[in-house]
Amino acid sequence: MTLTLAGKRAIVTGGASGIGAATAARFVREGAKVAICDLDAESAQALALELGEQNCRAWSVDVADIERVTPFISDAAAWLGGIDILVNNAGIAIPGTVIQLDPANWRKIFAVDVDSIFYASRIAIPIMIAAGGGAVVNIASISGLRGDHALVGYNAAKGAVVNLTRAMAVDHAPDNVRVNAVCPGLIETPLTQAAKDAGLWYAWTSTIPMRRAGTAEEMASVVAFLASEEASYVSGSVIVADGGMDAATGQPDLAKLASELLLNAEKAA
């Protein structure tokens, strides 16, 4: 499959690291011109320099602030010469149950994970429509499809992203604007490094049928497909990329356990 991204003009939020950075790099390799934004201005600028300033430009933006997002989208569109692709990737997670989570953090999660998509899309989509169409890819999570322990804010926000994606797809299909979401599972990024540092990696990856975390580059491949003309009839879809985790019931591998019990019994005998 040959992706048709040559000459495309793309915006990636949260583009300084992880899935956002990998997506920006993949887009540039495929011939697109990319504008990225991130709170981490230094890392965003470093990536832009690495990818080539003629191919990528960085902005320092708080995506939860409509007063910052609106001019960013307009300025990026001016530099790009239009917008063909918008990747709403920025997101945060703060742990807590409904009892534990501070209301200010509840609002912060929704501001970054959900409001930012609304803010960016409401400016970018009319620009796409004026040019004949485009593609929006929202980065959700398998946590938007199922519940996790003590992640109530993140679960609720990513669930909102999933249905916001569907609503946007329905609204803008007549405008030739496709809107899809990617739901990653465990991905090896700077944000999940803490789990490794805490010695939790094996416990986490052992619940995944593929027995490993995904990579940011693997997620970027999914995003690139959805953004390309190869996905020209795909809209309103929620693509799960989690190593098979969402496909499993969560019940233990009884055959494996039975085999281990039998082996232990034979050893004891």
User: What is the Cβ-side half-sphere exposure of residue 140, based on CA atoms within 13 angstroms?
Assistant: 30
233 catalytic, yes or no? no
The catalytic position among 119, 154, 202, 233 is 154
Q: What angle do CA 182, 50, 88 make, to 5 degrees?
A: 25
Max alpha carbon distance in the chain (Å)?
Answer: 77
Three-class HEC string of the chain:
CCCCCCCCEEEEECCCCHHHHHHHHHHHHCCCEEEEEECCHHHHHHHHHHHCCCCEEEEECCCCCHHHHHHHHHHHHHHHCCCCEEEECCCCCCCECCCCCCHHHHHHHHHHHHHHHHHHHHHHHHHHHHCCCEEEEEECCHHHCCCCCCEHHHHHHHHHHHHHHHHHHHHHHHHCEEEEEEEECCEECHHHHHHHHCCCHHHHHCCCCCCCCEEHHHHHHHHHHHHCHHHCCCCCCEEEECCCHHHCCCCCCHHHHHHHHHHHHHHHC
Q: Catalytic amino acids?
A: 154
